[in-house]
Amino acid sequence: MKPVDDAIVGPEDAVVDPSRGLAIIDVDEVLALFIAGFARFLGLHGYDFRLTTYGLLNNIFVAGGEAQPDKDQAKALFDRFFSHGCGDLDPAPGAVDGLVSLAALADVVILTNAPESARALRGGWLKQHGMPYPMIINQGPKGPAVRTLADRVGGPVMFVDDLLSNLDSVAETAPRVTRVHMIADPALRVLAPTSPRHRRIDDWSQLVRVARDEVFV
């Protein structure tokens, strides 16, 4: 396995083998149980997270009551989670072993949408949990970064993410890439929009089977 490079890594300079396949994997709600960790973080800061709508920041309440932080306060809590709290996340069930299995089939690159302030904690979290793969921090739709990565390898490319906006962006920008919609948190699955445009797999062992039998063949 390649060590995580702590220098800033972009899609044009992440180390990939041009002759191999490539698996491009999201962190929050794919490798990590983001909602559960964010809820824990909010609890430490006097807030409750009640998952009633898909819009993340609308689910924050002052602990024990019905009052909600305004948009700026909610955004500040979200940013603070990434700069101070995102090292305390649980891996999604099966994700660590699944990633090891994927890495035997193809190169692995982690592509996460997060503020730059999350880099140290997020990179450390990946290493600590046995996922020492190159990490790219992205903002906005992921299609362009996936396209840049896919253009650098000759083998098949797979992209796994929980957000339809990222999957749609990849469908439009990098159509040769196999897209998988995965949502690790069972409660979030119920609320999340879905689309027939993308293959849906929520289970890591099934993802590995599909990668082995249908993508990296």
Interacting residues toward Mg ion by CB under 5 A: 26, 28-29, 162
Q: In terms of CB distance, is 94 or 155 closer to Mg ion?
A: 94
The CA distance from 126 to 131, in Å, is 5
The CA distance from 165 to 200, in Å, is 14
Kindly state the smallest distance separating residue 64's Cβ from Mg ion, in Å.
Answer: 29
Kindly state the smallest distance separating residue 95's Cβ from Mg ion, in Å.
Answer: 12
Residue 200, strand partner residues: 181
Kindly state the smallest distance separating residue 65's Cβ from Mg ion, in Å.
Answer: 29
Q: In terms of CB distance, is 20 or 192 closer to Mg ion?
A: 192
Kindly state the smallest distance separating residue 32's Cβ from Mg ion, in Å.
Answer: 8
Phi first, then psi, for residue 174 (nearest 5°) are: -135, 65
Q: In terms of CB distance, is 35 or 74 closer to Mg ion?
A: 35
Q: What is the SS3 string spanning 166-199?
A: HHHHHHHHCCCCEEEECCCCHHHHHHCCCCCCCE
Kindly state the smallest distance separating residue 182's Cβ from Mg ion, in Å.
Answer: 9
Q: In terms of CB distance, is 39 or 155 closer to Mg ion?
A: 39
Q: In terms of CB distance, is 113 or 178 closer to Mg ion?
A: 113
The CA distance from 134 to 148, in Å, is 15
Nearest residue (beta carbon) to Mg ion:
28
Max Cα distance, the chain (Å): 56
Q: In terms of CB distance, is 68 or 191 closer to Mg ion?
A: 191
Does residue 29 come out as left (phi exceeding 0), alpha (psi in the -120 to 50 range) or beta? left
Kindly state the smallest distance separating residue 174's Cβ from Mg ion, in Å.
Answer: 17
CA nearest neighbour of 31 among 120, 105, 119, 122 = 122
